Structure 1
Amino acid sequence: MTMQPATLADWLTLLETMHPKAIDMGLERVGQVRDRLGIRFDCPVIIVGGTNGKGSTCAMLEAILLQAGYRVGLYTSPHLIDFNERARINGEPASDDMLTQQFAAVEAQRGGVSLTYFEFTTLAILRLFAQSGLDAVILEVGLGGRLDAVNVIDADVAVVTSVDIDHTEYLGDTREKIGFEKAGIFRAGRTAICGDPVPPQSLLDHAQAIGADLWLFGRDFNYSGDKQQWSYGGRGQRRNSLGYPALRGANQLLNASAALAALEALRHRLPVGAQEVRTGLAVVDLPGRFQVLPGRPTVVLDVAHNPHAAATLAQNLDNMGFHPYTYAVFGAMQDKDIDGVIEKLKDRIDHWCLADLPLPRAASADYLKQKLLDAGIVPQTGAGAERSIETFASPATAFANARSRAGENDRIAVFGSFLTVAGVMEAKRSDRAG
C-alpha cells in the first residue's frame, strides 16, 4: 500500500475490500503477522467463547475487575454503532487515533500476508492492548473458537458460555461439532470453564485429550438463590449474598457464575473482594442485550438472532408482566435459522414490522414475511386489526411505524441481527440530537 488512509473510517472501508473472503477460517496467516508484530501479554488473559452469553460474561468480568482497580482491556465484536466499541481500555472505547496507529503498524508488518477485516482489526487491537500496560485482558471470540483469529493468543483462562446451533456453514450442524470448535480455545494445563449445564461430549473429550483443567457447571461451580439474592460456589471460594446482575434476563446467573469461576481461577494473580464483585454486578451495562429503554411504550432491544437466544428472549418477555399488544421490529441475516427464531417468538408477538438490512447477506423483509406466513401467522386487515405483518426499507422506518401504532401500555421488541438493533439505536440517538 503506497498511501495510508488518513481516518478510521477510511481504514475500515479499505479493510473491507483487502481480502477476497469476508470470513476465512484458519490461524496460520494471523499467527505469522502476530509473530512479526511481537504481540505478547504479561498479564492474565481471559478468552470467552460460546453461542450465546459471551458478551454478557465479558461485560461482567470487565465491570468487576474495574471495580477492583485493575487496568482492563476488553475486545468484543461486532459493534453496535461505532467500531471503537470493539476495543475498550478501562471501560472507555479506544480513540480513532489509537486505532489508526495500530492499523498502520499491522499494515507495515504484514508483508504479503492477506488478512480479512476481522483478522486485521483483531491484530491491531491485540497490539494496542499489549502496549497499554494492562493488568487483565478479556477477549471475546468472534466465531467458533478453534479457528477464530482471537485464538492466536493462549488464554490463561478460557470460558465457553453455551453451545447451541449457529453459524452452521462454518462450525457444523450439530452441538457435538460446534462443541469441538468452541473447545479449541482451551489450553493444556490451563483453566477451561464450561458454563453450559449440558456440555457436548466433544468438548469434554477435547479438554481431556489436551490436558486442560476443566471446570464444569454443576460439578466444579454453581449458583443458588432466591428472589432477593444469590450465591456462587466454586472449587475453593464461596461468594454469598450477591445482588442480581444489572443485565436482565434468564441466563444471566449462568453467565455470572462462569465469570466468577474465571476470577476464582485467577484469584492469586487478580484478587477481587466481595464488595467489588457486588458493585461490578450492580453497574454492568451491555447495550442491546435485553435492554429495556425508559419511557412508554416499553421498548426492548435484544440481539437475539438464533433459536437459543430467541427462547431466552421469549422467557424474558413473559417475565415482564402484561402488555395489551407487542410489536416486533425484526430483521435478520439470510443464513440464520429464521424459522427457529419465529417458532420461539410467534406466540408473543401481535404486530410484526419487518425490516430490510443494509447488507447483501441479509434476508429481505418480504422473505421474512413469507417465513411468518409459512409459520401459520395469519395477519388481519383494516382498522383495529389484532395481528399484522408489514414490511419496511430499514429498521428505523419499521420502528417509527411501530411507535406510531403502539399504545402507551404496549411494548415494542426490537430483535434479530445486530444491524436491526443498531438501526433503531441510531434512529433514537438522532431523535435525541434533533
Structure 2
Amino acid sequence: MRFTTLDQWLDWQTSLHPREIELGLDRCRTVAQRLNLLPPPYFIITIAGTNGKGSSTVLLDTILSAAGYRVGRYTSPHLLRYHERICIAGQEVTDEQLCHAFNAIETVRDNISLTFFEFSTLAAMLIFKTSQIELALLEVGLGGRLDAVNIFDADVALVTTIDIDHVDWLGPDRESIALEKAGILRPYHPAVCSDIHPPQSLINYAHQLPTALYCLGQHFTYQQLDNTRWSWQYHSVIPDQPDNCFSYSQLPLPRLVGDFQLQNAAGVLMVLKLIKGSFACSLPVIQQGLVQAYLPGRFQILAGEIRRILDVAHNPLGAQVLNQLLYQQPNYGQTHAVVGMLKDKDIASVFKIMRNVIDHWHVAPLNTPRSATVPQLLDYLLALDITSVRHYPSITIAYHQALMMAQPGDRIVVFGSFYSVAEVLRLEKE
C-alpha cells in the first residue's frame, strides 16, 4: 500500500493532479472499468442542481433508511471530516475502508491522472459495491454532464433548483446551466425537477432523449397548511393512468429550516412516488424522515447570549434564502457577518443581496488557493457603499473579533462558503 493513513492519501491526491477541477468522463470511466464498477449492481438516484442538492439527498437517505433499505450516500464537499462524503446505512465510512479503496484505485489507474473529486467518487462506488447496498444516492459535484458521478447511469434523476453559479464551467445563464445538469438524465429512465420554473433547455433535452420529466407545478404540487403541516399532490398528465391522482394531506414540516425546504421535499416525494414499486415507503416512514433529516451548515443556529448562525450560502439564490431567513428570525441587536468567498463566485450579487441585513462586516480569506483575496472582497463592499467593514488574515481571527465586538442580543452570521462555515464549526467544537 502506497500510504498507511487517510491524511497521507488525501494530501497526495491534492498534489497529484495539476487542476482541482477538470470536467470530463473518459479518465474516470477507464479506471472504473478496470475496477469492475460498471454497471453498478444497485439502483441509482443521481441528484444535480445549483441549490438544494444536499438537502434533497439527505431527505432521500433518511426516509429510505427509515423504511429499512440499505442506502449508500455520496455527497460533497465535506465540512469537518472527509468521511462525511460517503455514508452507508447512515454511518460514515472508516479510515480503513477509504484507504483500502484508494489503494485499489491506485493499483489499477496506471498513468491516468485523477482529480481529488474523481478519487472520492471512485472510492465511494467501490465501497458501495463491497457493502451490498440496495440503493445509491449520488450528489453531483459540479454541473452534471461531465461530472465524474455521471459515468454511472441514473435509474432516476433529480434536478433541484437551478441558478447562476460556476459560470466559467457551466455557462452564463439558467438555460445553459440547466442543459449541463440535464446530462444526468438517461433515456426511458424518469427524471424529476423541483425548480418552480424549470428551464426550457431541460424540458427539451428530456423530450429529445426521450424520458419522462416530472416538474414541480405541472405534475406535482405542494401547499403549506399552517406552521406545522403541509400537503403534497401528484397529478398525472395521462387521465387513464393508474393512480393518476395521489396526495399526502398531513405531512410535518421538514426539520431542515426554510420555506424552500418544502420545494426540496416535494421533489423528493415525487422521486419516492416513482420508485415505490421497488422501494416502497409508508406515510409514517415519510413523516419520520421529514422530521429527522438534518444537514449541518444550513442555517445552523448555535444558541447563546450571542446567537451564531452558520450557512454555506455562496451564490445569489442561496443569499436570497439566507436573507429571507434572517428577516424572519426576531433579532433585537445588531448583525455581524463573518465572510469569506471563493474568487469564482458572484461576490457582487451575494453582497448586494445581504447588505440590508448586515450591520457590520468581518471579511477574511479562505484557507484555499481558490479564495478571493481581502482586497477583492473590500472592493466589492466599497462599490456598494458599505463602510462598517473590518478585515483579517483568517476566518478564525475574523470570527474571534466578531465575538469580541458583539453585544448581548446581537447575532453573528457566518456565510459565503463551505470553507468559512467549516472553519467556524471546528472552532466551536474545540
Report TM bin, short chain: over 0.9
- Letter of the 2:248 counterpart: R
Check the 8 A contact 1:76/1:87 in 2, yes or no. yes
> Which residue of structure 1 aligns with residue 91 of structure 2?
92
- Counterpart Cα distance in 1 of 2:197 and 2:425: 35
State the partner residue of 1:396: 396
Secondary structure of 1:48's counterpart equals: strand
Q: Which residue does 1:429 correspond to in 2?
A: 429
| CA deviation map 1:63-95 (0-9, x unaligned) | 111111111111000011111110011111111
Name the SS for the 1:238 alignment partner. Answer: strand
**Helix, strand or coil for the counterpart of 1:346?**
helix
Matches within 5 A, 1:254-333: 254-333=263-342
Deviations 1:29-68 (A, max 9, x none): 1111111111143332111000000000001111111111
Q: CA RMSD in A?
A: 1.1
Aligned letter for 1:395? I
Q: Give 1:135's aligned residue.
A: 134
Q: Is the 8 A contact 1:292 1:298 kept in 2?
A: yes
- Cα pair 2:225 2:231 within 8 Å, conserved: no
1:238 aligns with one of 247, 271, 274:
247
Once the two structures are superposed, what CA deviation does each residue of 1:239-262 show, in whole Å capped at 9, x if it has no partner?
221111001013100000111111
Name the CA distance, whole Å, in 2 between partners of 1:91 and 1:152: 24
Whether contact under 8 Å (2:339, 2:416) holds in the other structure is: yes
1:400, distance to aligned residue in structure 2 (A)? 1.1
Residues in 1 aligned to 2:343 and 2:83: alpha-carbon distance in whole angstroms: 27
TM-score, normalised on structure 1?
A: 0.94
Structure 1 residue 323: Cα displacement: 3.0
Match of 1:29 among 24, 27, 30: 27
Q: For residue 339 of structure 1, report the CA deviation from its aligned partner.
A: 0.2
Once the two structures are superposed, the pairs formed by residues 68-147 of structure 1 within 5 Å of their partners are 68-147=67-146
Partner of 2:411: 411
In 2, Cα distance between the equivalents of 1:331 and 1:258? 31
Deviations 1:177-202 (A, max 9, x none): 10100000001001111111111111
Quote the Cα distance in structure 2 between the aligned partners of 1:100 and 1:356: 31
Residue of structure 1 in register with 2:13 after alignment: 15
Any unmatched runs of 5+ in structure 2? 236-242
Distance, in Å, in 2 between the alignment partners of 1:97 and 1:174 is 43
| Distance (Å, rounded) in 1 between the aligned partners of 2:290 and 2:111 | 45
Asked if structure 1 preserves the Cα contact closer than 8 Å seen for 2:14 and 2:116, the reply is yes
Instruction: After superposition, give the CA deviation of every residue in 1:154-181 in whole Å (9 maximum; x if it has no partner).
Output: 1111001011110011101111110100
Please give the secondary structure, in 1, of the residue aligned with 2:112. coil
Matches of 1:261 and 1:296, distance apart in 2: 41
Correspondence for 1:169? 168
Give aligned-pair identity as a percent.
42
SS in 1 for 2:78: coil
- Give the whole-Å Cα distance in 2 for the aligned partners of 1:422 and 1:189: 40
| In structure 2, C-alpha distance between the alignment counterparts of 1:279 and 1:60, rounded to whole Å | 10
Alpha-carbon distance between aligned partners in 2 of 1:287 and 1:406, rounded to the nearest angstrom = 24
> In 2, are the aligned partners of 1:303 and 1:416 still within 8 Å (CA)?
yes
Give, in angstroms, the shift of residue 392 of structure 1.
1.4
CA distance in structure 2 between the partners assigned to 1:325 and 1:299 by the alignment: 12
Verify the 8 A CA contact 2:297 2:311 in the aligned structure 1: yes
Q: Quick check: 1:366–1:391 contact (8 Å CA) kept in 2?
A: no
User: For the Cα contact (< 8 Å) 2:165–2:345, is it kept in 1?
Assistant: yes
Alpha-carbon distance in structure 1 between the residues aligned to 2:147 and 2:60: 21
How far 1:297 sits from its partner (Å)?
Answer: 1.3
Measure how far apart 1:407 and its partner are: 2.0
Q: Which residue of 2 aligns with 1:383?
A: none
Paired residue type of 2:7: A
* Aligned twin of 1:367: 376
| Partner SS for 1:182 | helix
Aligned to 1:384: none
Structure 2 distance, partners of 1:231, 1:41, is: 35
Contact 1:37–1:109 (8 Å) recurs in 2: yes
Deviations 1:207-266 (A, max 9, x none): 111011100101111111222300111244322211110010131000001111111110
Confirm or deny: 8 A CA contact 1:307 1:341 kept in the other structure: yes
Between the two proteins, the alignment pairs up a number of residues equal to: 419
Could you say which residue in structure 1 is the equivalent of 2:238? none
Looking at structure 1, the residues matched to 234 and 34 of structure 2 have their Cα atoms a distance apart, in angstroms, of 40
Give the SS at the match of 2:28.
helix
Separation in 1, partners of 2:16, 2:376: 31
1:46 maps onto 2:55 in alignment: no
Deviation at 1:394, TM superposition (A): 1.6
Contact 1:106–1:124 (8 Å) recurs in 2: yes
Unaligned residue ranges in structure 1 (runs of 5+): 380-387
Partner of 2:213: 214
| C-alpha separation in 2, matches of 1:23 and 1:389 | 32
Measured in 1, the distance between the counterparts of 2:350 and 2:117 equals: 27
Q: For residue 344 of structure 2, what is the aligned residue in structure 1?
A: 335
Separation of aligned partners in 2, 1:223 and 1:142: 28
